[in-house]
Amino acid sequence: GINVWCAAGTELFSTKEVVARVRLSQVGTVVSHNQLLLPQLAATGVAAHQVQKQSGFKVIYGPVRATDLPKFLANGFTSEPYMRTVPFSARDRFILLPVALMEALQAFLLIAPVLLLLSGIGSAGWTNAGSYGLFAVLAILCAILSGAVLRSLLLPCLPGRAFSITGLLLGIVTSLLLLYLRIMQWPNRIATLSFLLSIPAISAYMAMHFTGCTPYT
């Protein structure tokens, strides 16, 4: 599926690579039909006529998803319309969330204790940990959730295709929401505002991680 498309776009699944693998495996000595069945999304990196010219194998583009292969073969290499489309539904996007969250939360779990400890330095002592420290942790967590979770789930509803821009917009909305709910409860508004401004940047960065996982780009 999407992984094939991503590999084809970076020349990991290319005409040169396919020809090299055909020669290396000597598949021509094993089969007699001289046909290669490739995923449809490999077409962005594989020139079928060049593969046939250089290897003698005719390329047949199969369905997008491997789960449709049995039916595709049973139909005599004839695909149905749904086999050629990439819907990228909410379920497909939800499956990708754990990967993005695990990577981000690993860094978050290292940063959060450091922020709490640093916030306890000063004349006010640990009093600041309950204000500056907790807000810093909350701001970073909201930025991660905004860029990784909301960006993924709201993908069809957000304007534009640039993940950095849509992630930035979600971060701004999240910042304004935190500003509205919490600004009057924190003693130093400048420090609070600095964290709120960092939310859009982190959110945009997290949203960029979705590049290569979706047919929207």
Q: What is the pLDDT of residues 150-176, one digit of tens each?
A: 888 888 888 877 888 999 999 999 988
Answer yes or no: are the C-beta atoms of 178 and 139 closer than 8 Å.
yes
Q: Which helix (H) or strand (E) holds 87?
A: none
Of the candidates 175, 111, 115, 119, which has an alpha carbon nearest to the alpha carbon of residue 143? Answer: 175
Distances (CA, A) of 100 to 33, 41, 91, 144, 149: 43, 23, 15, 9, 9
The string of pLDDT tens digits covering residues 142-152 is: 999 998 888 88
Note every long-range contact of 99-104, with CB atoms under 8 Å and residues 24 or more positions apart, other chains counting. Answer: 100/148, 100/152, 100/206, 100/209, 100/210, 101/144, 101/148, 101/149, 103/209, 104/144, 104/148, 104/206
Query: Could you tell me the residue ranges of all domains in the chain?
Result: 2-84, 90-208
**pTM score of the predicted model:** 0.67
Q: Which residue has the higher pLDDT, 14 or 196?
A: 14
Question: Tens digit of pLDDT for each residue in 183-207?
Answer: 655 556 777 778 778 899 999 988 8
Pair type for strands 58-61 and 35-38 = parallel
- Judged by average pLDDT, the poorest of 116-120, 126-130, 146-150, 152-156 is 126-130
Amino acid at 32: S
Please tell me what DSSP assigns to residue 128: G
Q: Provide the pLDDT for residue 19.
A: 93
Ramachandran quadrant class, 31 (left: phi over 0; alpha: psi -120 to 50; beta: rest)? beta
Distance of CA 13 to the CA centre of its chain: 19
Is the predicted pLDDT of residue 209 greater than 90, yes or no?
no
